[in-house]
Structure 1
Amino acid sequence: MAGNSGAVGASVTSRALSLLAAFDENHRRLPLSELARRAGMPLTTAHRLVADLLEFGALNRTPEGDYVVGRRLWDIGLLAPVQTGLREVASPYLHDLFGATRATVHLAVRDGTEVLYVDRLRGNASVPVVSAVGSRLPLHTTGVGKVLLAHAPAEVERAALADLRAVTRYTITQPGTLRRQLGRVRREGWATTAEEMSLGACSVAVPVVQRDEVVAALGLVVASLRTDRPRLVAALEVAARGIGRALQRLPPVAPGER
């Protein structure tokens, strides 16, 4: 269940936010009854608040009667600094990287113990991936996530190492193994995965640095890294340096705070 805002004393605002938080990557459209259940509130309360959210444009109703996130939230989300600064600056470098590699390109930041995907480019020939712009995945399962975890505060690393869930049979779930990988990321400047998030997909990633601080990670997803890893790392590093230089003109990008 996404929330427990039906509890006595919950504010109208917190209950409305719980309705919005009921949506996630696997629940993009919900009937009213399921929306209320996931938000943890009575159906009558959900019905009243949903009407307000519809009027505001935060929710839309499909012809089938389900509810989906509205365009108004997307418009507001684009105003977040991670969008208006980092994403806009990085965009031309991501397109250059995609043109040079034809691989899926990811730009990501850390959000607590998860990796948040800020932008993604992929083509028809790209390896299938589960990520999408705005989605979150565990840090230890992805190349960009490992880069961000390697440069995260010690308390974040401890929290991530305490919750190494297996997504595929190749996911690293041993804290000692992952700790050694993170040390190598810090020494060598890049991270890889091998089918740890999606079967048939490998990834390689490098940090994006602004004023000596890692503020994001740039990654590629391919079918195999057996022969092309050095070339892909070199392409990533060129793009990441370009993004880092462009970011010098902007206020600091806030790293994951939680």
Structure 2
Amino acid sequence: MSSEIPDKRSAIDKAMDVLNAFGDQAYTGIGVTEIARRTGLPKSTAFRVLASLQSNGAVERVGDHYRLGKMIQDLANTDESDFQQTLRDVLTPFLADLYSRTKQTVHLAVLDGKDVVYLNKLYGHMHVRSPSRIGGRVPAYCTAVGKVLLAHDSQAIEEVLTQPLRAWTPNTIVDPESFRAELAQVRAENLAYDRAEILRTLNCVAAPILDRNRRPVAALSVSGPVGRFIPQNHATMLRQVCFEATRALAATMNAQERSASRSTQ
């Protein structure tokens, strides 16, 4: 006679346990074996629950990992601001330029508190698992786009450092003084790197797009798989595209101001 205790959790209970099991890895994703371990479900059951959640948009599969899907992440996101819409509309053509020049995965992102939010993304030819998705957010301190935006925002830096920095990989910079030194280098070069800091398999380089006061308001990045993608090779071209994007954004903001001024006269 089997001594195994029947699992009396309902289907909804099991689904909620699976969603809660993601924890800090909601954006980067975890495998079905680890989900089964965290929930106490048989691996076959965990796989069936994940398949059901995936079909409803609550989780998404990236390679052999799962992460929270668009439906769940959208519940936590506030509505996109008018300014973010303007940034996406004006800067997406430059994201497309960046893609056409590199054929790598490229991102357009903004800083929101301690996280970066991805306004747009184009996938490159070299597939690599990535925590980024359009409309999604990830911690700023361990991403290239996040570091290049944090570097010029002292208040955001202090907010990030109010709590210990989690080591997502062995390369994540978690020492506060080392992190400050990293950001000082970013400010000096107007360029930031993610050296496999959020995922062991991912490298990235990012540069800022500036407003008319020369403050970073968004960032573009190029990313690819460790071992096959060399971020430094794309630095000069990335700076050039961001310079062109900065000019276009300034022209748009000037035109919007002139239009608003005429409408009030």
- Output aligned runs, 1:147-158, within 5 Å: 147-152=148-153, 154-158=154-158
Partners of 1:102 and 1:127 in 2: how far apart? 13
TM superposition shift of 1:217: 1.1
Verify the 8 A CA contact 1:143 1:191 in the aligned structure 2.
yes
Could you list the runs of 4 or more consecutive aligned residues of structure 1 that deviate by over 3 angstroms after TM superposition?
24-27, 64-70, 224-231
For 2:144, the equivalent position in structure 1 comes to 143
Over 3 Å counting, the alpha-carbon distance change for 1:69 and 1:222 in structure 2 is closer
Partners of 1:227 and 1:203 in 2: how far apart? 9
Q: Of the two, which has the highest radius of gyration? A: 2
Over 3 Å counting, the alpha-carbon distance change for 1:188 and 1:226 in structure 2 is farther
Pick aligned residue for 1:222 from 221, 224, 241: 224
TM superposition shift of 1:83: 4.2
Over 3 Å counting, the alpha-carbon distance change for 1:104 and 1:66 in structure 2 is closer
User: How many residues are matched?
Assistant: 192
Unaligned runs of 5+ in 1: 1-21, 28-61, 253-258
- Output aligned runs, 1:102-251, within 5 Å: 102-152=103-153, 154-163=154-163, 164-211=165-212, 212-224=214-226, 228-251=230-253
Letter in 1 for 2:195: A
Partners of 2:158 and 2:242 in 1: how far apart? 27
Verify the 8 A CA contact 1:148 1:216 in the aligned structure 2.
yes
TM superposition shift of 1:93: 1.1
Partners of 1:143 and 1:162 in 2: how far apart? 20
TM superposition shift of 1:136: 1.2
TM superposition shift of 1:69: 4.2
Over 3 Å counting, the alpha-carbon distance change for 1:111 and 1:151 in structure 2 is same
Decide which moves more: 101-110 or 82-91. Answer: 82-91
TM superposition shift of 1:117: 1.0
Verify the 8 A CA contact 2:109 2:220 in the aligned structure 1.
yes
Partners of 1:206 and 1:239 in 2: how far apart? 9
Verify the 8 A CA contact 2:223 2:231 in the aligned structure 1.
no
Q: Structure 2-normalised TM-score?
A: 0.63
Verify the 8 A CA contact 2:130 2:202 in the aligned structure 1.
yes
Partners of 2:121 and 2:57 in 1: how far apart? 28
| Counterpart secondary structure, 1:129 | coil
Partners of 1:225 and 1:145 in 2: how far apart? 23
Over 3 Å counting, the alpha-carbon distance change for 1:66 and 1:222 in structure 2 is closer
Letter in 1 for 2:161: L
TM superposition shift of 1:124: 4.3
Partners of 2:245 and 2:152 in 1: how far apart? 18
Superposed CA offset, 1:39-78 (max 9, x none): xxxxxxxxxxxxxxxxxxxxxxx9x8898849x99xx956
Verify the 8 A CA contact 2:105 2:121 in the aligned structure 1.
yes
TM superposition shift of 1:229: 3.9
Letter in 2 for 1:127: V
Over 3 Å counting, the alpha-carbon distance change for 1:96 and 1:223 in structure 2 is same
| Counterpart secondary structure, 1:207 | strand
Letter in 2 for 1:243: A
TM superposition shift of 1:84: 2.7
| Counterpart secondary structure, 1:218 | strand
Partners of 1:209 and 1:186 in 2: how far apart? 13
Partners of 1:209 and 1:65 in 2: how far apart? 39
Q: Structure 1-normalised TM-score?
A: 0.65
